[in-house]
Structures are given as structure tokens and as C-alpha cells.
């Protein structure tokens, strides 16, 4: 651990940009099931679906209200969850680094925002579960899902009265959850693709927290940051491909995010305080 801290301190000292890349593992201790964990399954009719099967435009086209039901259930889980110590620590790190810090998150749960990470420096690359947009893409604009639309309990359908509210305010067509699905592509207007690549190219220290390295843009981020010589630290309870890369630079911390991130941030804040003072 001391070696990891020393590598991080060296980057803080040099004054470069610090980026955190978070995945579902950062919210696990807030009670939100991870994607590839065991708890995420969903039953439609007599069939069990894995989230990855439902998180596609193809599934939405085939059974839109079943997909909406799953997202409205999951939105309820996210809204009832509370940010944990890792989310709070990352908001604290943002405040301590005054503009040198950016947060790239795959999570759609909004917990980073609720912990105080500012929208101006937070890049949600997979969408936001509390928002909807036009299913026909008549615009890239998105809107909050209307307040009248509540939770759908497991196994239940979206009530017809709510279905009438889940429409695009611009063209009146069907709305969809503002989520990047597996059969879709990243872009800048909706998913900050170019901005995030720019951040990665300028990163001096990249903290990779609670992600299984299963999606495309995070891979670009890690490869680009590694390519420009950034120090990479992987925080995860399990080994994963990003850990293999990080182990060659900063190192790996095999602890739950809610333990490891606050400890790391505490150390950084103390160090920065001494340096300034
Ligand atoms: P995954 O569910 O694939 O991976 C979660 C990772 O978090 C795993 O590597 C776990 O080992 C780790 N983990 C679990 N609990 C942890 C804890 N307490 N502390 C630290 N790490 C922990 O989630 P993601 O990598 O975020 O995409 O998945 C990436 C994307 O695939 C998601 O954003 C979603 C998904 O399908 C979309 O919705 C587009």
C-alpha cells in the first residue's frame, strides 16, 4: 500500500489531472446490485432474463413495456439507495483538487451527484436512470421521468396511465430510458464520448474503482491514460483486466470501495493540505 500511496503522491505533486473511473462496484455497498453479480435477474412471463439481455434496443423494440418495467423497478432501487463512503470521498476529492479532478462513471444511479460530485466535472457515460429521451431519437435532449411515474414492483406491469406519460415531449412518440444499451454506440451529445477521451489523454493519475472492464469506453480510458504514462490504481474486490494493467504502474487495492476510497482520499487530502500549508 505504501508504494501505491507514494506513486499517487508523486502525481499529485507534479500537479497533473486526476481522473476517477467508477463502475457498479462503487454502489454495491449502497445496496444496488452489480450487473454481473447474481442478484440482477428479471423474470418476464416464464423466462428469466439477465440484465444484459434486457439492456438492448432490440429488447426494447420487441417488448418495450417489459423493459420499461425493469428500469422503473431499478430506478426505485437507485432512488431509495444512499451514497456510501466511497461516493462521499470522491466528492471530497473533487473539492480538494479544485478543478484538477474529473469523475467518469458508468453508473446510472445518480449516487455520485447525490454525494456532492458536481455535474460540471462528472461524466455519466452510460446515461441516467431518472431520465428519458425520445425512442425515435428525434432529439438528443432528455427529460426527467415524470414524477407521477412511480416504482414498478418486481413481476408487475407498467400501469396504462403511466405508459401515457412516458412519451417524448417534443414529438409525442414513445420515450425510452436514457441508458446506453449494449447494441448501441457512444456519442458526445448524450454520453460524453469525446470529452472523456480528452480527459484520459491528459490524466496523470487514474483511479479505477469497482468495474469489471466489460465495456468499451472504459477500455479506451484505461488504454489512453496508460499510453500517456499515467499512474493507474485499480480498486476492486476481485482481480480484473484493468487490475492487470494497473499492477504495472500504480498498483491494485483488493478491498471494498467504501473502505479503500475514503482511506486513499483521506491520505491525498492530508498530503495536499501539508503541501499547501
Ligand atoms: P459489473 O457488474 O460488470 O462489475 C462490477 C465490478 O465491481 C466487479 O469487478 C466486482 O468485482 C466489483 N465490485 C463488487 N463489489 C465491490 C465493492 N464493494 N467494492 C469494489 N468493487 C466491487 O459492473 P460495471 O463494470 O460497472 O452498462 O459494468 C459496466 C457496465 O455494464 C454497466 O455500466 C452497465 C453494464 O451492463 C450499461 O448499462 C450500458
pLDDT tens per residue, range 79-117? 999 999 999 999 999 999 989 999 999 999 999 999 999
CA of 1 from ligand 1 middle (Å) equals: 23
Other CB atoms within 10 A of residue 164 CB: 11
CA of 215 from ligand 1 middle (Å) equals: 10
Residue 33 confidence (pLDDT) above 90: no
Within 8 A by CB and 6+ apart from 204, the residues are 11, 14, 15, 16, 17, 18, 230, 231
Please give the mean pLDDT across all residues of the chain: 94
What percent of the chain shows pLDDT beyond 90? 85
With cut-offs at 50, 70 and 90, classify the pLDDT of residue 35: confident
Ligand 1 binding pocket mutation candidate from 29, 32, 35 (most atoms within 8 A of CB): 35
Q: What is the CA radius of gyration of the chain?
A: 19
**Which residue puts its alpha carbon closest to atom 15 of ligand 1?**
25
CA of 24 from ligand 1 middle (Å) equals: 4
List the end-to-end C-alpha distance of the chain, in Å, as a whole number.
25
pLDDT for the residue 46: 72
Burial class (CB in 10 A: 0-12, 13-18, 19+), 211: buried
What percent of the chain shows pLDDT beyond 70? 96
Torsion-angle region of 118 (φ positive above 0: left; ψ -120 to 50: alpha; else: beta):
beta
Where helices occur in the chain by DSSP H, the ranges are 2-14, 25-28, 51-54, 57-62, 64-80, 85-97, 111-115, 160-163, 188-191, 193-202, 216-227, 241-246, 257-276
Residues 208-218 have pLDDT tens digits of 999 999 899 99
Q: Could you give the residue numbers annotated as active site?
A: 126
Ligand 1 binding pocket mutation candidate from 23, 74, 260, 261 (most atoms within 8 A of CB): 23
23 lines ligand 1 (CB under 6 A): yes
pLDDT for the residue 41: 64
Taking residues 17-39, what's their average pLDDT? 88
Q: Report which of 54, 81, 25, 18 is spatially closest to residue 232, judged by C-alpha positions.
A: 18
Amino acid at each position: 500500500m505504501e508504494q501505491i500511496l507514494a506513486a499517487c503522491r508523486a502525481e499529485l505533486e507534479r500537479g497533473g489531472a486526476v481522473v476517477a473511473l467508477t463502475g457498479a462496484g462503487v454502489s454495491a455497498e449502497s445496496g444496488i446490485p452489480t450487473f454481473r453479480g447474481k442478484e440482477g435477474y428479471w423474470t418476464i412471463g416464464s423466462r428469466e432474463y439477465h440484465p444484459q439481455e434486457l439492456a438492448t434496443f432490440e429488447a426494447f423494440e420487441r417488448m418495450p413495456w417489459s423493459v420499461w418495467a425493469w428500469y422503473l423497478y431499478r430506478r426505485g432501487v437507485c432512488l431509495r439507495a444512499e451514497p456510501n463512503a466511497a461516493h462521499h470521498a470522491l466528492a471530497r476529492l473533487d473539492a480538494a483538487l479544485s478543478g484538477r479532478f474529473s469523475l467518469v462513471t458508468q453508473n446510472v444511479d445518480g449516487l455520485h451527484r447525490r454525494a456532492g460530485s458536481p455535474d460540471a466535472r462528472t461524466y455519466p457515460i452510460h446515461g441516467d436512470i431518472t431520465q428519458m429521451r425520445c425512442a425515435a431519437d428525434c432529439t438528443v435532449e432528455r427529460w426527467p421521468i415524470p414524477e407521477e411515474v412511480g416504482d414498478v414492483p418486481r413481476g408487475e406491469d407498467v400501469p396504462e396511465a403511466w405508459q401515457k406519460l412516458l412519451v417524448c415531449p417534443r414529438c409525442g412518440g414513445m420515450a425510452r430510458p436514457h441508458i446506453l444499451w449494449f447494441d448501441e454506440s457512444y456519442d458526445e451529445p448524450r454520453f460524453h464520448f469525446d470529452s472523456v477521451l480528452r480527459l484520459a489523454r491528459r490524466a496523470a493519475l487514474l483511479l479505477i474503482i469497482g468495474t469489471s472492464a466489460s465495456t468499451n469506453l472504459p477500455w479506451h480510458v484505461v488504454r489512453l491514460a496508460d499510453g500517456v504514462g499515467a499512474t493507474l490504481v485499480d480498486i476492486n474486490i476481485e482481480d480484473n483486466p484493468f487490475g492487470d494493467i494497473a499492477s504495472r504502474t500504480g498498483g491494485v487495492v483488493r478491498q471494498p470501495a467504501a473502505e479503500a476510497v475514503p482511506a486513499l482520499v483521506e491520505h491525498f487530502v492530508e498530503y495536499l493540505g501539508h503541501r499547501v500549508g
